A and B are shown apart, each in its own frame.
Chain A
């Protein structure tokens, strides 16, 4: 069982790294370093190059929910007038701005905001509100939705123009010239981390699956917060080695795994326990997730155009055909038996095509799907009994199909 201990080590390492990250951020802020609040799939390499501390309101909101503290923040935001229909990450963060503390601890307030709307349009307005409320400058990277398999040249021009403008804005805000040398180094580290991240989760294709895919929802904190510095490279090398050792030893998270599951969407952060139990009780393993794949961001480090294209590629910014083909590919490559799709009240961008996606994927692959209702951060939208019934029905459908064969 030495390998199990090793997986625990990676889990512990990521916890330590996250604790260290928040402690360092708070300390750095006190020492007068600039702090930016940043969206989750923004090109943070620009900030890393200028030695700016980055804080991710989305990650913080997820951590607050995991510590059962999201309702407190939601109540504050809603009593200010924010509608229950607005993304719960936004509501939790806007509540946090007023509260100044949370179940998941404090994060320093920002000196600047760095927003990239490749994940959704909500962030555009959310960060504009933050900018007004906190009276800090906002750097906005407006990333057009990708309607085509290959982005058009004028779209790339538009993004690169904004990258160049962001550099100017950063020079003005910091009062220092942009550090191109460090930037180049960050790009390389970012690509290294993303490659290791991808190589590690792709080992989920092995049977038995060497890891519990739910752990990736914890590991992702590092790819989000530290992509572009040495820490992420260190962590994902460690993770990759650990998983590779398990694969070499033929060890699985569940040795006699019975079902291999693809998860689509953001998890219910306040109820990861229920998700984990519903799978483990049935000897089912989450082998892949469309969500965590988003951060496998690799590009030509000598070409900003290539970087622009990479930051357009996350699935919430892509056309329906991409989502469909991508899901079918994952099901095929990871030998998935079933798909769980989270119809997440908060994330319109992910949910919008969900029913059609589910229909077409089942038709093309024959793999059954279950759509579960909930929300990433708002526990009021989640019903454990309804969730459990749908999950049970999914496994019964898989069983029925196996029996019919």
Chain B
């Protein structure tokens, strides 16, 4: 049996097709989120990668910010539950998830079965999110995926104190104008993200294993800063951007199984 999970975020669209709730058959990430062609494309691409069509899929669960705008999805489940399930599949020892996406930061406590115990999210503010890093990358004239490499070459992180994205942006500009190196400024930006996320994490309590998911988990500089800030080991999901989509595909499988049991 094949199930599909679709995770439509604010800045990217992700999809995964799984077989019998145990094997990832195909997956796909498109760097365009809800309201763009991203959702449509990610579904087409993942089906193509699996050499399938829509009829081969038994059940589709949509998640993420754009979960309600996916035609053909059988059900919508929040990204909080989907990330919990996805991480449980990939790293079963996980008890705390730090998910940093395009415009949301979530810290989720899960039990040994991958069920959500508690969670906190950022308020209506971009500080500490992927969008924050995108804004900074533009000022630094680099790509988001170059930030990690740059911070790795830093000698001394330049402190960035503003929480507000706009003020942090002007702070970065003035630090660069004052002659600080790009590398040192990037390290400071990563520290600022880490501080912001750490304060959220402390609200739910960080129980090991702590695992980072979401696109920002691919930035080793942020992960390193988080380790220092939280003084704890932090693992990263092996498929950070796809964790939610995988969780959605797993929950889709569970739904079908349950329906079958009920019919039997």
Measured CB to CB, the residues of A under 8 A from B are 343, 355, 359, 362, 368-371, 373, 380-383, 385-386, 389-390, 392-393, 396-397, 400-401, 404
Contacts and interface: CB of A to CB of B under 8 A. Distances in A.
Contacts of B120: 355, 371
B73 interface: no
A337 to B, nearest CB: 15
B123 interface: yes
A389 B113 contact: no
B77 A362 contact: no
A398 B180 CA distance: 51
Interface string B116-130: 111111011000000
A368 B124 contact: no
Contacts of B116: 393, 396-397, 400
B192 interface: no
Interface in B206-264: none
A276 to B, nearest CB: 18
A390 B121 contact: yes
A47 to B, nearest CB: 38
A404 B79 contact: no
B81 interface: yes
A389 B78 contact: yes
Nearest to A354: B203
B115 interface: yes
A183 to B, nearest CB: 46
Contacts of B76: 392
A82 B40 CA distance: 46
Contact of B81 (A343, A370, A393): A393
Contacts of A362: 118
A355 B116 CA distance: 17
Interface residues of B, number: 20
Nearest to A390: B121
Contacts of A383: 124
B78 A400 contact: no
Contacts of A369: 118
A389 B121 contact: yes
A396 B203 contact: no
Contacts of B65: 385, 389
A368 B78 contact: no
Nearest to B113: A404
Contacts of A343: 123
Contact of A393 (B119, B123, B205): B119
B123 A404 contact: no
B9 to A, nearest CB: 11
Interface string B74-115: 001111110000000000000000000000100000000101
A140 B94 CA distance: 55
28 contacts: A343-B123, A355-B120, A355-B203, A362-B118, A368-B117, A368-B118, A370-B119, A371-B120, A373-B121, A373-B124, A380-B124, A381-B123, A382-B124, A385-B65, A386-B104, A386-B124, A389-B78, A389-B79, A389-B80, A390-B80, A390-B121, A392-B77, A392-B78, A393-B80, A396-B77, A396-B80, A397-B115, A404-B115
